[in-house]
């Protein structure tokens, strides 16, 4: 396989982003996280801040009642819905497809496993860990008291789960949506990277 794309969804505090960066470095490929927002802004001409505002979270929870599963339709600049949350997602999805078609890379979040589910060169990974591990990792990243950190983790994961369900119609934790599910608390980051690389080797070589 000439081009291999790895998508990583992750629980907050599980170290999914760190694993993604380490994996990209070992593979010698690009790592995409918030860079997707920048690329989507550049392609569409829409202010980057608008993409950042809805990045992996639902801003208006009332619209969650009438979710619209991603279909790939893009609104034109003359449409009133050009800067709608749905179209902002669709523009980012277009960027993800372009990346999957042109290069090997590692992509974090943004429902990439669903958007690229029909691409034969894509490996989808979900990284999780137990509460104690996620709490420890989160406390090292954010300035929040130990008393509040569990609520913060739960809220962040709910944002991601709701965002995923709205745009895909599927559950974020549904294991059938992933090739690999890795417990970073038990394996550690380095071994998670090794497991992904081993899977790539077995599947494509």
Given a cut of 60, whether residue 14 has pLDDT beyond it is yes
Query: Cα(61)–Cα(98) distance, rounded to whole angstroms?
Result: 30
**Minimum mean pLDDT among 62-66, 154-158, 199-203: which range?**
62-66
CATH number for position 91: 3.40.50.300
Query: Cα(129)–Cα(85) distance, rounded to whole angstroms?
Result: 30
Given a cut of 80, whether residue 61 has pLDDT beyond it is no
pTM here is 0.91
The pair of three-digit structure tokens given for residue 161, joined into one six-digit string = 């789960």
Query: Cα(119)–Cα(116) distance, rounded to whole angstroms?
Result: 5
The pair of three-digit structure tokens given for residue 148, joined into one six-digit string = 């509040």
Q: What is the mean pLDDT of residues 161-180?
A: 94
Which pLDDT score, from 0 to 100, does residue 205 have?
A: 81
- Distant-in-sequence, close-in-space partners of 71: CB < 8 Å, separation ≥ 6: none
Question: Mapping DSSP to helix (H, G, I), strand (E, B) and coil, where does residue 5 land?
Answer: strand
With cut-offs at 50, 70 and 90, classify the pLDDT of residue 62.
very low
Which pLDDT score, from 0 to 100, does residue 22 have?
A: 98
Q: What is the mean pLDDT of residues 173-197?
A: 97
Instruction: Look over the chain and give the mean of its residue pLDDT values, rounded to a whole number.
Output: 91
- Distant-in-sequence, close-in-space partners of 73: CB < 8 Å, separation ≥ 6: 90
Q: What is the mean pLDDT of residues 160-174?
A: 93
**Better-scored residue on pLDDT, 76 or 111:** 111
Domain hosting residue 68, numbered range:
5-204
- Distant-in-sequence, close-in-space partners of 142: CB < 8 Å, separation ≥ 6: 149, 152
Domain count, the chain: 1
């Amino acid at each position: 396989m000439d081009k291999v794309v790895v998508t990583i969804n992750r629980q907050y505090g599980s170290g999914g982003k760190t694993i993604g960066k380490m994996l990209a470095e070992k593979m010698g490929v690009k790592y995409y996280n918030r860079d997707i927002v920048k690329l989507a802004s550049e392609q569409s001409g829409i202010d980057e801040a608008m993409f950042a505002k809805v990045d992996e979270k639902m801003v208006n929870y009332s619209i969650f009642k009438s979710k619209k599963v991603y279909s790939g339709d893009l609104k034109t600049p003359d449409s009133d819905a050009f800067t709608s949350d749905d179209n902002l997602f669709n523009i980012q999805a277009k960027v993800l497809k372009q990346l999957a078609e042109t290069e090997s890379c590692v992509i974090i979040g943004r429902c990439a496993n669903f958007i690229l589910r029909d691409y034969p060169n894509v490996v989808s990974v979900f990284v999780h860990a137990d509460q104690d591990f996620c709490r420890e990792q989160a406390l090292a990243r954010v300035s929040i008291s130990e008393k509040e950190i569990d609520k913060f983790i739960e809220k962040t994961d709910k944002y991601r789960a709701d965002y995923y369900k709205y745009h895909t119609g599927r559950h974020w934790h549904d294991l059938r949506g992933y090739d690999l599910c890795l417990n970073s608390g038990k394996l550690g980051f380095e071994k998670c990277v090794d497991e992904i690389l081993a899977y790539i080797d077995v599947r494509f070589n």
